[in-house]
Amino acid sequence: MDEGSAALVAAGLGKRYRRGWALEDCTFTLPSGRIAALVGPNGAGKSTLMSLATGLLRPTAGSVEVLGRPGFLAQGKPLYQGFTVQEMLRAGRMLNPDWDDEYARRLVDEARVPLGARIRTLSGGQRTRVALAVTLGRRPEVVLLDEPLADLDPLARQEVMQALLSEVAETGTTVVLSSHVIADLDGICDHLLLLSDGRVRLAGDVEDLLAEHRLLIGPRSLEVPPEFVVERRDVERQSTVLVRGLADLPDVEVLDPTLEELTLGYFRAGRAAAERGVAA
């Protein structure tokens, strides 16, 4: 796929379950050949979005299209518990015409997972590595991974992220990775899609988004033009305001937000907007 082309396009995408809308009016494009982070608090709609993108669910409104051969690793990493690792890879080969056996085996070997071990006897981290090998062995062009790091220790998290990074660098595969642990994604993901309460609150290249935002710290009397304010917190005598597109204010401490500060600001703003019953 070309650098700069799209890997996933959503237009007016919505999904309503019985209890209400899980996703509403989502319009965005994810670029190809990158690692995109899909972030949002619990219940934001991340899994629903991935299931819609991979065709496991049908939209109630709008459309979503993956441009390229998709691969999907669902939350909970479905694997046959009674199979050995080798049998799992064999199943992958039999079920997928594009299966790359050498590559899948290499991913398992690199993770030091014994081929003869039964899936149910593996640790959470080893299971994740096998599930990743089964997903990536199909040589997908657009890989959607739903919370792949959830049950991994910090070392295994780092190893999995490193494996994904080299995958992108070697093959140009697009990776979309959902998580609510922002620290895991910092320095790895170069594109961000932030959902909160079923809506897209922020989307773009991480570098650009960080450059556009500032944290202003001042007294509670601090006045900031409301059109720039993403989120404001007033604690005791101090105010912390996340702003977009406002470089400076006189007599105010101005900081560059970290990715975590940026995303948490939008999570809170999204939650507050949903509680007030407004779109953003």
Ligand X SMILES: Nc1ncnc2c1ncn2[C@@H]1O[C@H](COP(=O)(O)OP(=O)(O)OP(=O)(O)O)[C@@H](O)[C@H]1O
Piece of 13-21, 81-89, 91-99, 153-161 that binds ligand X (CB under 6 A): 13-21
| Residues β-bridged to residue 72 | 144
Question: Residues touching ligand X: how many (CB under 6 A)?
Answer: 13
User: In 10 A of CB 160, how many CB atoms?
Assistant: 21
Give the one residue of 14, 33, 40, 68 binding ligand X; rule: CB under 6 A: 40
CB 43 → ligand X: shortest distance, Å?
4
* Residue 53 vs 89, nearer CB to ligand X: 53
CB 270 → ligand X: shortest distance, Å?
12
DSSP code for 141: S
Identify the CA nearest to 13 among candidates 70, 55, 52, 54.
Answer: 52
Residue 266's identity, in one-letter code, is: Y
| Residues β-bridged to residue 70 | 142
* Residue 57 vs 143, nearer CB to ligand X: 57
46 scored as a contact of ligand X (CB under 6 A): yes
Piece of 2-10, 43-51, 65-73, 248-256 that binds ligand X (CB under 6 A): 43-51
Give the one residue of 6, 22, 37, 108 binding ligand X; rule: CB under 6 A: 22
Piece of 39-47, 160-168, 225-233, 263-271 that binds ligand X (CB under 6 A): 39-47
- The rounded distance, in Å, linking the Cα atoms of 158 and 195 is 24
Piece of 6-14, 36-44, 155-163, 246-254 that binds ligand X (CB under 6 A): 36-44
43 scored as a contact of ligand X (CB under 6 A): yes
CB 248 → ligand X: shortest distance, Å?
35
DSSP code for 120: G
Give the one residue of 13, 24, 30, 47 binding ligand X; rule: CB under 6 A: 47
CB 177 → ligand X: shortest distance, Å?
13
- The rounded distance, in Å, linking the Cα atoms of 51 and 15 is 11
Distances (CA, A) of 104 to 72, 147, 190, 215: 15, 20, 26, 45
**Pure H helices in 19-153:** 46-53, 85-95, 101-110, 124-136
76 scored as a contact of ligand X (CB under 6 A): no
Helix (H) or strand (E) holding 21: strand 20-31
Identify the CA nearest to 38 among candidates 182, 166, 162.
Answer: 182
104 scored as a contact of ligand X (CB under 6 A): no
- Structure-token pair, residue 106: 């290499």
CB 108 → ligand X: shortest distance, Å?
27
Piece of 46-54, 118-126, 136-144, 205-213 that binds ligand X (CB under 6 A): 46-54
Piece of 12-20, 155-163, 165-173, 236-244 that binds ligand X (CB under 6 A): 12-20
* Residue 148 vs 218, nearer CB to ligand X: 148
Question: Is the Cβ–Cβ distance between 190 and 261 less than 8 Å?
Answer: no
How many Å is the maximal CA-CA distance in the chain? 67
Site for ligand X in 155-214 (CB under 6 A): 180
Helix (H) or strand (E) holding 227: none
Contacts with 250 (C-beta within 8 Å, 6 or more apart), sequence order: none
| Contact footprint for ligand X (CB under 6 A) | 17-19, 22, 40, 42-48, 180
